[in-house]
Amino acid sequence: MIDPDMRDRILAEPERILDDRDLMAALIAANERALGSNIVDLRGIAMERLEARLDRLEDTHRTVVAAAYENLAGTNQVHRAVLQLLEPGSFESFLTHLGGEVAATLKLDSLRLVLETHDDTGTEAIKRLGSVLSLARPGYVLAAMQGGRAGKPRPVVLRQVVPDTGELHGEKAEYIRSEALLRLDLGKGRLPGMLVMGSEDPHQFKATHGSDLLAFFGQVFERIMQRWLA
């Protein structure tokens, strides 16, 4: 016989048993054993299916919440990086910030600006910023973003790279395993530019990832660059 005190507690608070999934599963299993092997308990089968559906819903819920937090964290990163772009008072300081604080905020191992020009010799100031700024001949941006494929590339290209193919990242090329390329429209009458982001993590940038935040960052960067060039 069940202990009287325990019986009284169960009768007083039956919802505690109903809320305990493990206890309910044990009771259902005991009921099925009592019925014998020749009887099929449809209620038990329905309960099992409901439990399986609930497990899937909980997994989906956790996945959605995790994705939401990750997206929020990414949004905060981009917003901080944009504020850092607005701080410098000179173009050289702006580029220094780009390769330093901004790259660190975005958790990048490489961040460079490529500008197309008809004269890629550059000034002394530009040469000093070689780790951040790169000059290229007209057509270079399109070719780099196409990556050997035909057709017009998207404004943001995400892809993985293999050793010895990360030439866009200068001295850090041998360590880069994934990259994001952002095409920059620098205004009417000007040649295009490109932001090159690189990571040692091969999974940081993939073609299957969303690019909305990077597209927003690129649009902000375009407007800031247009003001500097003006």
Chain position carrying tokens 């091969």 = 202
CA distance 178 to 108: 10
Same domain, 81 and 51: no
What integer best gives the mean pLDDT of the chain? 82
Cα–Cα distance measured from residue 114 to residue 137, given in angstroms and rounded to the nearest whole number: 10
- Between CA 200 and CA 215 the distance in angstroms is 21
Q: Give yes or no for a contact between 141 and 156, defined as CB atoms under 8 angstroms apart.
A: no
pLDDT above 90 (res 43):
no
What was the pLDDT predicted at 129? 66
Can you tell me whether residue 4 is helix, strand or coil? helix
pLDDT in tens, 85-144: 998 888 888 888 888 999 999 999 999 999 998 875 655 555 566 678 888 899 999 988
Question: Are residues 89 and 166 both part of a single domain?
Answer: yes
The residue among 218 and 164 whose pLDDT is bigger is 218
Instruction: State residue 72's pLDDT score.
Output: 74
Q: Are residues 88 and 128 in the same domain?
A: yes
Q: Is residue 69 part of a domain?
A: no
For residues 84 and 49, membership in a common domain is answered with no
- Banded pLDDT at 163 (limits 50, 70, 90): low
92 and 45 in a common domain: no
Range of the domain at 44: 4-56
Q: Is residue 64 in some structural domain?
A: no
- What dihedral do alpha carbons 40, 44, 50, 54 form, nearest 10°? -140
Please tell me whether residue 209 adopts helix, strand or coil conformation: coil
- Whether 64 shows a pLDDT value over 60: the answer reads yes
- Structural domains in the chain (count): 2
For 54, counting Cβ atoms within 10 Å of its Cβ (0-12 exposed, 13-18 middle, 19+ buried), the class is exposed
Count CA atoms closer than 13 A to 220's CA, side-chain side: 15
How far apart are the C-alpha atoms of 112 and 130, rounded to whole Å?
9
